[in-house]
Structure 1
Amino acid sequence: MSHDNVTATPAALALLAEIEADHGPVIFHLSGGCCDGTAPMVYPAGEFRLGAHDVQLGSVGGAGFWTSGAQAAAWADTALLIDAVPGRGGAFSLDNPRDRHFVVRPPTCAAPA
């Protein structure tokens, strides 16, 4: 079940295009853990095992954006904006070796254009 409450900045879409050019189709997963916080992890499509309770919140440039059922409930009434910011991503995420990584921002916290 997709909620379609996920959008992306041009910077996030550009980073996604770079990653997909190198790795093919990908998915996003937001764990909500203490170390990841608002940094979604990016994995090659088909190589990350989604849990029985994971929920698709929407998509970013065609890549599914997933999180746990508990996180989905917490974000249910919030439109999420995916952005790319300077710095390295999570250790297992495909954005790690790049000079930018993805973050989730509620639109009210979006950086000015």
Structure 2
Amino acid sequence: MDAVLQARPARPGEDFSRVALTAPALEMLEKLWDRNGALMFHQSGGCCDGSAPMCFPEGDFITSDADVLLGVFELPGRGEIGFWMSAEQFAYWEHTLLTVDLVNGRGSGFSLEAPEGKRFLIRSTLMG
């Protein structure tokens, strides 16, 4: 699970990345961007698939003060993808580096990769 792209820090005062992508996740995002335009991630922290990162067309999921922008991926040749997490979930995950990976299988959510028979998955590593 080697990360190939680190997100630019987005939280005030932070100079380190909290979110990264694996090669398969990056490849899927490029495909989804070409099909849907600008994208965003949101991880709610709900039960079951609600705790998986969900990919939406930019703006299709409305964020608020109850969400935290953890980082911004710069997709080469395309644009930026923000990675949002509910503030409540972030309270539990604030000491981890989150790596977005892509695996076989369909989640039960509305994430854009689902029709491909794939789903995004978070792999976490404690930050030291």
So what's the TM-score if we normalise by structure 2?
0.76
Higher relative contact order, chain-length normalized (CA < 8 Å, sep 6+): 1
How far 1:57 sits from its partner (Å)? 1.2
Match of 1:75 among 58, 71, 93: 93
1:103 aligned onto 2:125: no
For residues 114 and 32 of structure 2, the distance between their equivalents in structure 1, rounded to whole angstroms, comes to 10
Q: Give the distance between the partners of 2:115 and 2:96, measured in 1 at CA.
A: 30
Paired AA for residue 15 in structure 1: M
- Where in structure 1 are there 5+ consecutive unaligned residues? 109-113
Q: Does 1:91 align with 2:104?
A: no
Task: Give the residue type in structure 1 aligned to 2:118.
Answer: R
Q: After TM superposition, where is structure 1 displaced by more than 3 Å over at least 4 residues in a row?
A: none
Aligned to 1:111: none
Letter in 2 for 1:96: A
Distance 2:66 2:109 in 1: 24
Contact 2:40 2:56 in 1 (8 A): yes
Structure 1 partner of 2:44: 31
Task: Give per-residue Cα distances to partners, 1:48-98, cap 9 Å, x unaligned.
Answer: 111221001113443111011111121111001100000123431111111
Structure with the higher strand share, 1 or 2: 2
Counterpart-to-counterpart distance in 2, 1:43 and 1:10: 19
Aligned counterparts of 1:51 and 1:17: Cα–Cα separation in 2: 26
Q: Are the counterparts in 1 of residues 50 and 109 from structure 2 also a CA contact under 8 Å? A: no
Aligned pairs, number: 108
Q: Give how far 1:37 is off.
A: 5.0
Partner of 1:53: 66
Partners in 1 of 2:124 and 2:85 — Cα distance?
A: 15
RMSD (Å) for aligned C-alpha atoms: 1.8
- Does 1:16 pair with 2:8? no
Identity %: 42
The whole-number CA distance in structure 2 between the counterparts of 1:13 and 1:94 is: 14
